Chain A
Amino acid sequence: MNEYNLNESYITNIKEKSVLSTKDLQVYYGDNHAIFDANLSFPRHEITALIGASGCGKSTFLRCLNRMNDKIARVEGEISYRDVNINSSKINVYEVRKHIGMVFQRPNPFAKSIRENITFALKNAGITKKNDLDERLEQSLKGAALWDEVKDDLNKSALALSGGQQQRLCIARSIAMRPDILLLDEPASALDPISTSKIEETLKTLSKDYSIIIVTHNLQQASRISDYTAFLHLGHIIEYNSTVNVFTNPHMQATEDYVSGNFG
């Protein structure tokens, strides 16, 4: 593998309003230092992609943002959301996760009906009126481009759906909570090209109302859908810029090698 200076980086300031930002974020798995001094600011109502080679820390970084690394890793530094440091032990993590939703690499619908997959967490959050639930059910399924395919059998098991449909159901389940931010960890990597492009379209549309942060291995995908891109290498954020610039005018050698396929 080529050697790069990990202490040099090129990080631009975003033009848009920031929805979430990290300051000097460090992550440790026991003695293993996995993320070094991450300083990033994510734009509101845009899509930001996190790219980088396998094992560079993309998932680790993403999972810090809604405290999914609690009990798994030690996370130091600040994560600011609405002027509050949510990486503090005083914060109610369950509340945080209602505002910052997450979709995982492998679809993980509950072993319940399609309807209950959506309404379950809503009921838990105190929404109990049938009208409200039905409205959110329809809206979220439409938002995730799944409504037309399932509207006639909402009481069917979610496990009977195809992988791509299940993943869109998981997206719907997240947006039904009306979060501010949606985190996605390689949401399309287990899916066929048709399902993938459906998910991409869905995300594009959702970015009008949601701030989206997506980890992806697929560089075309990053360049197709994202507005900003962060490139990570060995736990360091090497470059952060508008996606166009990262792909056509990279400032760091490592970034250039990675996006042009000459890496390693």
Chain B
Amino acid sequence: MNAKKIDRIASGVIYALVATVVILLIAILGYILFNGVPDISWSFLTSAAQSFSAGGGIRDQLFNSLYLLVLTIIVSLPIGLGAGIYLSEYASDNWFTDLIRTSVEVLSSLPSVVVGLFGYLLFVIKLNLGFSILSGAIALTFFNLPLLTRNIEESLRSVPNLQREAGMSLGLSNWKTTVKIILPAALPGILTGLILSAGRIFGEAAALIYTAGQSAPTVDYGNWNIFSATSFLNPMRPAETLAVHIWKVNTESVTPDAHLISSASSAVLIIVILIFNLGARYLGNKLYNKITATK
């Protein structure tokens, strides 16, 4: 066999593998969207779920998912940034940083249901937080932090060392160089990672079933007092998210239109996650161009 022939066979195999991945993706997305999208309506998105009768919506679940997402990012972003900056810009390579990196890796490979059960035992039971948005947000932080830290560290590291030397040679401190030169240059990568992790958080169910709970009490969207039990912002109330809702509707629901609700909810979930993914690319590029002043 000559080199040309081998080359052609290898390319053929690679194309076939790539095609398999793409077809799988299109099949899954197509199936979910095809089944779900026709049932999505404005009233579906804006009415409360029903336990026994048909015609329930996902208003509360959708809001809970977004609220949990925001809280989780508020908690995990500062920690992830701190850890990522430390690991990439300050830490020297020794047993201690090795330990941190290994811990981060182990943490990131924990199955989310384990994180959920741990959160249940520690926050819900031991610390008496109950099934609450707060318990859920902390569990999701555990789940999200390793990958976020990793992403931030990698993004910072990928900024060439020449940039650090340039900053140093102009009399900038290590901190100034990091914050004003390295971080902006790494921002598009960090943002992309953040948005992708937002997609993972949004679709997470296992870690939330035992922490944020499976019930969506009726809340008052006009009540902005976060300490009030009926406020939609109260972080101590249980909050079923969209992903948990899909799981629940499929396992124990008695509503006659359970099938419709779960297909439509799945479609909404997928659409939101797709928006996150595409948005990540768009925003990342946009931001890079803005920061580097290229038009």
Residue A112 contacts which of B168, B170, B172, B293 (CB distance < 8 angstroms)? B293
Binary interface encoding of chain B residues 159-192 relative to chain A, with 1 for a CB under 8 A from any of its CBs, else 0: 0101101111111110010001100110000000
Q: Is B291 within 8 A of A112, CB to CB? A: yes
Q: Is the CB of B294 closer than 8 A to any CB of chain A? A: yes
Nearest Cβ in chain A — how far from B8, in angstroms? 39
Would B170 and A101 count as touching, CB distance under 8 A? Answer: yes
Contact B165 A155 (CB under 8 A): no
Residues in B116-173 with C-beta less than 8 Å from chain A:
160, 162-163, 165-173
26 A–B pairs (Cβ distance < 8 Å), ordered by A:
A68-B165, A68-B168, A95-B171, A96-B171, A97-B168, A98-B170, A101-B170, A102-B169, A106-B162, A108-B160, A108-B166, A110-B166, A110-B185, A111-B291, A112-B292, A112-B293, A120-B180, A121-B170, A121-B171, A124-B172, A124-B176, A125-B171, A160-B294, A173-B166, A174-B169, A177-B170
Given A157-B292, A157-B293, A108–B168 Cβ distance below 8 Å?
no
A194 to B169, CA, bound (A): 27
With A104-B166, A111-B185 in contact, is A94–B172 under 8 Å at CB?
Answer: yes
**What residues make up the interface of B, taking CB atoms closer than 8 Å to A?**
160, 162-163, 165-173, 176, 180-181, 184-185, 291-295
Known: A68-B165, A124-B170; 6 extra A-B contacts, CB below 8 A, are A97-B171, A101-B169, A101-B170, A108-B163, A120-B180, A156-B294
Residues on the B chain within 8 Å of A156, using CB: 293-295
| Contact A104–B291 (Cβ < 8 Å) | no
Dominant SS at the B interface?
Answer: helix
A residues engaging B (CB < 8 A)? Answer: 66, 68, 94-98, 101-104, 106, 108-113, 116, 120-121, 124-125, 155-160, 170, 173-174, 177
With CB as the reference atom, state the residue of chain A lying closest to B170. Answer: A121
Which chain A residues lie closer than 8 Å to B176 at the CB level? 124
CB-CB under 8 A for A108 and B165, given A125-B171, A155-B293, A157-B294: yes
What does DSSP make chain A's interface, helix, strand, loop or mixed?
Answer: mixed
Question: Once bound together, how far apart are the Cα atoms of A2 and B167, in whole Å?
Answer: 41
Q: Closest residue of chain B to A173, judged by CB?
A: B170
**Among the listed A121, A160, A174, which residue makes an inter-chain contact with B172, where contact means beta carbons less than 8 Å apart?**
A121
Residues of B within 8 A of A68 (CB): 165, 168-169
Q: How far is the CA of A155 from the CA of B291 in the complex (A)?
A: 11
Contact between chains at B171 and A170 (CB < 8 Å): no
Q: How far is the CA of A177 from the CA of B170 in the complex (A)?
A: 8
Indicate whether A104 sits within 8 Å of B294 (C-beta atoms), given known contacts A110-B181, A125-B171. no
How far is B27's CA from A17's CA once the two chains are assembled, in angstroms? 79
Report chain A residues within 8 Å CB of B168: 68, 97
Chain A residues, Cβ within 8 Å of B291: 111-112
